[in-house]
Amino acid sequence: MGKKVLFLLLLITSFEFAVCQDSKTVWVDSVLREMNLQEKIGQLFMIPFTGEFDEEKISSFVSRVKESKAGGIYIKGGGPQFTAQLINRIQKVSKVPVLAAIDAEWGLGQSLDSAMIFSSPILLGALRMIR
């Protein structure tokens, strides 16, 4: 008898969690349903950007991201303001929001000019050992 009650209780609560989806999950599911196989495969790739300021190369990069339906971009150079403008430009032409990544364990200055560089993580980790 007790096992049946426990089973029914678990069954009822599992249905409750299955029904309670937040709006973000619903949006993600709807976007995935609309994507074809090429778009889903494109989401697995990130295209690197080296920070070239030539408008022709920037336009070529933006169109390559759009055509390949890449899931993200990897920033390897440029300035903070330029990088923000580039990311916004790519987001406008992309059907699905694009993930922007940067190598910044030493701070943004590791990849972007005119940004602050912090000490390396190994140095910061060793600081607490010094007394």
pLDDT digits (tens, 9 = 90+) for 85-117: 999 999 999 999 999 999 888 888 888 888 888
Q: Are 86 and 78 in contact (CB under 8 A)?
A: yes
d(CA 39, CA 20): 28
Rounded CA separation 110/7 (Å): 55
Give the three-state DSSP class for 96: coil
- pTM, two decimals, is 0.71
How many residues are listed for the chain in this entry?
A: 131
Average per-residue pLDDT for the chain:
85
pLDDT in tens, 57-78: 999 999 999 999 999 999 998 8
